[in-house]
Structure 1
Amino acid sequence: MPSDRPSQGKRGRASGLPRWLPISLIVALLAAIGWLALKGDEPAPSAAPAAGAPSSQGPQFFGQVAGQMDPPVADERARRRQQLVEVFQLADHSYCSYREGSKYPASSRPMSQNPDQAYPNRPVTEVNPMRGEDRRSNPNILLQTSQSRVYLAAGESVAFSLRAVEPNGTVVPLVVTRSIAAGITRIGNGAGARPTTQVPLAFADDGSGADPVAGDGAFAAVLTPAQTGLAGFHGTIRTEVRYTAAGRNGVLVFDVIYSPKVPAVWAGAPREAVVDGSLAFILRVDVRQAGRYVITGRIDDARGTPFALATFNEVLGPGPNEVRLVAFGKLMHDGAPALPLTLRDVDGYLLKENTDPDRELMPRLEGPVMTSRTRSLEGIADDEWTSEERERYLTEFAKDRRQAHAELAKFDPAGPIPASSCGPVK
Structure 2
Amino acid sequence: MPSRQTPAAPRGWRRYALPLGLGVAALAALGLWMKGGAEQAASTVASAPPPAGPQFFGQVGGNEGLAIPNDRAERRRQLVEHVQLTDHTYCSYREGSKYPMESRPAAHNPDQLHPNQPIAEMHPMRVEGGATSATVLLQTSQSHVYLAAGESAAFSLRAVNAQGETVPLVVTRAVAQGMTYGASRATGQVALAFADDGAGADPVSGDNAFAGVLSPAQTGLAGFHGTIRTEVRYTAGGRNGFALFDVVYTPTLPATWSGQVREAVENGSLNFYLRLDVRQPGRYVVTGRVDDARGRPFAVATYNEVLETGPREIRLAVFGKLMTDETPALPLTLRDVDGYLLRENVDPDRLLMPRLAGRVVASRTKSMNGVSNAEWQSEERDRYLAEYAKDRNMARERLAAFEPGQPLPPSACAQPGAPTRP
Q: Give 1:299's aligned residue.
A: 290
Partner SS state of residue 181, structure 2: strand
Distance in 1, matches of 2:205 and 2:280, equals 45
Query: Is the 1:210–1:222 contact (alpha carbons within 8 Å) kept by the matching residues of 2?
Result: yes
Greater than 4 Å deviation, 4+ residue runs = 56-59
Q: Give 2:68's aligned residue.
A: 72
Distance in 2, matches of 1:110 and 1:59, equals 61
Q: Give 1:89's aligned residue.
A: 84
Distance in 2, matches of 1:155 and 1:61, equals 91
Q: 1:61 to 1:195 in 2, by over 3 A?
A: closer
Partner SS state of residue 260, structure 2: coil
Q: Report deviation, 1:57.
A: 11
Q: 1:211 to 1:62 in 2, by over 3 A?
A: same
Q: Report deviation, 1:395.
A: 0.5
- Deviation string 1:118-145 (CA, Å, 9 cap, x unpaired) is 0000000001111101111113211000
Equivalences, count? 365
Query: Is the 1:184–1:194 contact (alpha carbons within 8 Å) kept by the matching residues of 2?
Result: no
Query: Is the 2:177–2:230 contact (alpha carbons within 8 Å) kept by the matching residues of 1?
Result: yes
Identity of aligned residues (%): 63
Q: Which amino acid aligns with 2:68?
A: P
Q: Give 1:387's aligned residue.
A: 378
Matched, 1:122 2:117: yes
Matched, 1:218 2:183: no
Q: Give 1:209's aligned residue.
A: 200
- Deviation string 1:365-391 (CA, Å, 9 cap, x unpaired) is 000000111111110111100111111
Q: Give 1:250's aligned residue.
A: 241
Distance in 2, matches of 1:89 and 1:183, equals 55
Distance in 1, matches of 2:151 and 2:275, equals 21
Q: Give 1:60's aligned residue.
A: 61
**From 130, 149, 152, the counterpart of 1:135:** 130
Matched, 1:349 2:353: no
Q: Which amino acid aligns with 2:135?
A: N
Q: How does 1:271-420 map to 2 (within 5 A)?
A: 271-420=262-411
Q: Give 2:260's aligned residue.
A: 269
Q: Give 2:144's aligned residue.
A: 149
Q: Report deviation, 1:299.
A: 0.2
Query: Is the 2:142–2:156 contact (alpha carbons within 8 Å) kept by the matching residues of 1?
Result: yes
Matched, 1:103 2:98: yes
Structure 1, unmatched stretches of 5+, are: 3-46, 49-55, 64-69
Q: Report deviation, 1:417.
A: 2.1
Q: CA RMSD in A?
A: 2.0
Q: Give 1:195's aligned residue.
A: 186
Distance in 2, matches of 1:172 and 1:283, equals 49
Partner SS state of residue 215, structure 1: coil
Q: 1:322 to 1:62 in 2, by over 3 A?
A: same
Q: Report deviation, 1:268.
A: 3.4
Q: How does 1:149-188 map to 2 (within 5 A)?
A: 149-187=144-182
Q: Which amino acid aligns with 2:119?
A: V
Query: Is the 2:59–2:67 contact (alpha carbons within 8 Å) kept by the matching residues of 1?
Result: no
Matched, 1:234 2:225: yes
Distance in 2, matches of 1:370 and 1:87, equals 50
Q: 1:59 to 1:266 in 2, by over 3 A?
A: closer
Q: Which amino acid aligns with 2:115?
A: P
Partner SS state of residue 390, structure 1: helix
Q: Give 1:5's aligned residue.
A: none
- Deviation string 1:91-130 (CA, Å, 9 cap, x unpaired) is 1111000000000000000000001110000000001111
Query: Is the 1:177–1:242 contact (alpha carbons within 8 Å) kept by the matching residues of 2?
Result: yes
Structure 2, unmatched stretches of 5+, are: 1-16, 19-45, 48-56
Q: TM-score, with normalisation over the residues of structure 2?
A: 0.83
Query: Is the 2:169–2:208 contact (alpha carbons within 8 Å) kept by the matching residues of 1?
Result: yes
Distance in 2, matches of 1:62 and 1:165, equals 81
Distance in 2, matches of 1:363 and 1:58, equals 81
Larger radius of gyration: 1
Q: Give 1:44's aligned residue.
A: none
Q: Report deviation, 1:274.
A: 1.1
Partner SS state of residue 172, structure 1: coil
- Deviation string 1:227-267 (CA, Å, 9 cap, x unpaired) is 00000000000001111101101111000000010010111
Q: Give 2:108's aligned residue.
A: 113
Q: Which amino acid aligns with 1:215?
A: G
Q: Report deviation, 1:194.
A: 3.4
Partner SS state of residue 197, structure 2: coil
Distance in 1, matches of 2:215 and 2:291, equals 31
Q: TM-score, with normalisation over the residues of structure 1?
A: 0.82
Query: Is the 2:145–2:247 contact (alpha carbons within 8 Å) kept by the matching residues of 1?
Result: yes
Q: Which amino acid aligns with 1:267?
A: S
Q: Which amino acid aligns with 2:61?
A: Q
- Deviation string 1:278-336 (CA, Å, 9 cap, x unpaired) is 00010001101111000000000000000000000000111011011010000000010
Distance in 2, matches of 1:376 and 1:93, equals 36
Distance in 1, matches of 2:76 and 2:132, equals 57
Distance in 2, matches of 1:177 and 1:58, equals 87
Q: 1:200 to 1:386 in 2, by over 3 A?
A: same
Query: Is the 2:176–2:228 contact (alpha carbons within 8 Å) kept by the matching residues of 1?
Result: yes
Q: Which amino acid aligns with 1:124?
A: I
